[in-house]
Amino acid sequence: MARLAKPVVGIAVTVVTALGLTACGGGSDEQKSADAKQTLTVWGMGEEAKRLSEVAKDFEKDNPNITVKVTPVGWDVVGQKMTSAAAAGTLPDMAQMGSTMMGQFIALDSLEPVDEKAFKKSDFFPGTWENNVADGTAYGVPWYADVRGLYYRTDLAEKAGIKKAPTTWGDHHKLAEAYQKDGSEWGTALQPGNTGAWQSYLQFLYGEGGDIVDKDGKSALGSPEAVQAFEKWGSYFKDGLAKKNFVVGADVAKTFASGDEPTFMSGPWMVQNLNDQQPQLKGKWKVAPLPAGPKGSVSWVGGASLVTFKDSEHKAAAKAFTKYLTTPEMQGKWYEMAKSIPANKAAFEQPQLKDSKEAESLKVFEKTLDTAKEVPPMEKWNEIAAAIEGTLEKIAQGGGPAAEAKKLQTATEGLMNP
């Protein structure tokens, strides 16, 4: 379980400190019952907020006393906007919260603990639930999930003499070599640095049995498992199988289609993207589980959860709306609308998933969710992620994994939750 200190420190809450205010605003303790006439305020992110507004209309039909007001907030500004709202005491009743944001707002002491009698841990995939847990308390209900799968060109693999998906990173390395030997410019697409590069590394780390933090809450990014993961990740650049430089605006769907980068790791949304944008590839590619390390095939898990803020006077209505959004039936409908895979395990039996044209690929992501591991809720995650990305960039350019991991360990020791 992740551990978080509740007193607020660090750059994530500088707005609060600067204003000299408490982490959450001075709301009333007076609570409205779920059947009282009221307006429930909800913040949603980007395009998802528009879809959430549509879903809210159906909820209102069944709950005519509750008006749901959804406010769209851009993913690029949501962290600062929520932090400022916490300082000013103007947070909404509830919100969609990205997985790596949880630690900051748990540390702000602005989230209401989840009622675990109303929401059962066993209904959700393990990593999606644990992403929201600090000191044994859950602060968010998983809404939708994001894991990684391995996309690969089956036609080019067969042409190169390989007829099955790689099951280990060693197999994948050999597949990348075979692709390149048979004419592909690169063996694989792998982000060598810049924002988000940590997402290309964590499956190596978790597959080795490594972690971001150890059982005592200290940095584990210099552990032997982390070094081994850096070595495997870095081998693709060392052997000339992946680009060493990050290309802004690169479109992996196009390089995948051209055969220049015939394998890559990505989330479930890429299934529809490839079907829609590269229809000529039909029957020429598949998505497979991530290659395994010594501890198996382990993706990191992200996505979004639904949180209720501690100062809300509409917690019963927030619970009802959260319950509505996380039922298997509603999660099936949400997949149909947004192509976001469910966090509720039973939702994979809904017809929108079971009978969809993406059903074969969805089975891969469902299997992946069973073993996927959370990014622990960490107050200073953005700084930790940036440090990992800096290390990856150095290794991609030829830096020694052991030496760079040692530096990373030192750089992140003061960023972990006390």
Q: What is the pLDDT of residues 181-219, one digit of tens each?
A: 999 999 999 999 999 999 999 999 999 999 999 999 999
21 or 196: which carries more pLDDT confidence? 196
At 235 the pLDDT is: 98
Non-local CB neighbours of 200 within 8 Å, separated by 6+ positions: 190, 191, 233, 265, 392
At 393 the pLDDT is: 97
Class (C level, CATH) for 149-298+380-412:
alpha beta
The string over 347-357, giving b where at least 16 C-beta atoms fall within 10 Å of a residue's C-beta and e elsewhere, is bbebebbeebe
At 354 the pLDDT is: 96
pLDDT tens figures, 125-174:
999 999 999 999 999 999 999 999 999 999 999 999 999 999 999 999 99
At 16 the pLDDT is: 33
| Residue type present at position 260 | D
List the beta bridge partners of residue 71: 43
Q: Is the pLDDT of residue 4 over 80?
A: no
Residues listed for the chain:
418
CB atoms within 10 A of CB 58: 12
Sign of the Cα torsion 196, 197, 200, 206 reads negative
| Residue type present at position 287 | V
The string over 81-101, giving b where at least 16 C-beta atoms fall within 10 Å of a residue's C-beta and e elsewhere, is ebbebbbeeebbbbbbbebbb
Domain segments of the chain as ranges = 11-147+302-374, 149-298+380-412
At 288 the pLDDT is: 98
At 319 the pLDDT is: 98
Q: Is the pLDDT of residue 17 over 70?
A: no
At 12 the pLDDT is: 33
Dihedral (Cα; 80, 82, 88, 94), 10-degree rounding? 170
pLDDT tens figures, 268-292:
999 999 999 999 999 999 999 999 9
Task: Please say whether the beta carbons of 339 and 54 come within 8 A.
Answer: no
Look over the chain and give the mean of its residue pLDDT values, rounded to a whole number: 92
Task: Please say whether the beta carbons of 386 and 194 come within 8 A.
Answer: no
User: Where residue 115 falls among pLDDT bands split at 50, 70, 90?
Assistant: very high
pLDDT tens figures, 85-111:
999 999 999 999 999 999 999 999 999
Q: Is it true that domain 11-147+302-374 has CATH number 3.40.190.10?
A: yes
Q: What is the pTM of this model?
A: 0.91
d(CA 352, CA 342) in angstroms, rounded, equals: 11
At 2 the pLDDT is: 53
* Cα-to-chain-centroid distance, residue 167: 23
Same fold yes or no, 11-147+302-374 and 149-298+380-412: yes
